[in-house]
Amino acid sequence: MRPTPMITGLVFVAAGAYVLSGAALLLWLSGDWRWVEGWIFGVWWASFMAAIVLWLYYRDPALLAERFRMPGSGGESRADMAILIGIKIGFLGWIVVSPLDVRFGWLPRLPVWSEVCGGIALMAGSFFTFRAITDNTYLSPLVRIQTERGQHVIDTGVYGLVRHPMYFGASLWLIGGALLLGSVSGLLVALGIVGLFIVRIFGEEELLARDLEGYKEYLQKVRYRLVPHVW
Distance between CA atoms of residues 231 and 219, nearest Å: 13
Burial (CB < 10 A; 0-12, 13-18, 19+), residue 4, is exposed
For domain 5-221, which architecture applies? Answer: Up-down Bundle (1.20)
pLDDT at 214: 96
Domain residue ranges of the chain, discontinuous segments joined by +: 5-221
The pLDDT tens digits along the chain (231 residues) read 555 554 455 555 555 555 667 678 888 999 998 999 999 999 899 889 889 988 998 999 999 989 888 877 777 788 889 999 999 999 999 999 999 999 999 999 899 999 999 999 999 999 999 999 999 999 999 999 999 999 999 999 999 999 999 999 999 999 999 999 999 999 999 999 999 999 999 999 999 999 999 999 999 999 999 999 999
Rounded alpha-carbon distances, angstroms, from residue 149 to 2, 55, 65, 185:
14, 19, 12, 41
